[in-house]
Amino acid sequence: MITLIHGNDNLASRNYFLSIKDENSILMDAQNLNLVELSQIINGSGLFLEPKKIFIDNLFTNKGSKNQVDVFSIIGKGHDSEIYLYADKEIPIKSLSDIKDLNSKVFRVPQNIWNFLDEIRPKSSQNIFKFHEVLKETEPEIIFSMILRQFRLLLAISSSSSKNISEVSRLAPWQKSKLTRQASLFSNEKLIDIIKKLYFIDKTTKTGKTSLSLKQNIDILLLEI
């Protein structure tokens, strides 16, 4: 059995990926993968005589993708092992059509989070209300990372050098249009101030230097916007 764990809800997908491991599981990093060892594990040769749970990480990153063809060739043959592939993004299943009987387990961020991000406005009481609506379906860590991304994009799109920023250049015209309208509601100074506060929240939360929960810190930030 081969299972692909993927999607844009990285926190949920990663937690699931780690939760199904046990003491007999084998974790392999595709970025420095020993293909001979992988083959031996799957085929039950050498030191690996029993079927194993095999977890392959980073196979869909830039560095790991160099081993994709070889890995797919090895795991695509008949075997009794349970193989789990992890990706921190959603992978088109059609691109993996060579892998027979692939089980796709996708974790997606709920649609309402995009509406929340697009509708953040200065001095709007709706900011916190919509944030708490999103909290019913999404972890605060995911929401926080997406708020940070949204304001980085807003600052970039309002900058004269935005064409040189790769994340902006990859956006569709309709996405740029929405961001441009939203960015026009904030001054550059305000956007910079918000981003500084977001990084401060991130740092103090990760280092345990705040007595407030991440949810409480986001509440305060949205009030100050």
Q: Hey, where are the domains in the chain? A: 2-106, 112-224
Output the pLDDT for position 164.
Answer: 54
Which CATH number does 112-224 carry? 1.20.272.10
Q: Edge-to-edge, what's the strand order for the sheet holding 2-6?
A: 26-29, 53-57, 82-86, 2-6, 102-106
Output the pLDDT for position 163.
Answer: 56
Q: Rounded to an integer, what distance in angstroms lies between the CA atom of residue 55 and that of residue 83?
A: 6
Residue environment code for 72-101, b if the CB has 16+ CB neighbours within 10 A, otherwise e: eebbbeebebebbbbbbebbeeeebeebee
Report pLDDT digits (tens) over 55-106.
Answer: 999 999 988 889 999 999 888 877 778 899 999 999 998 888 878 889 999 9
Report pLDDT digits (tens) over 195-220.
Answer: 999 999 999 999 999 999 999 999 99
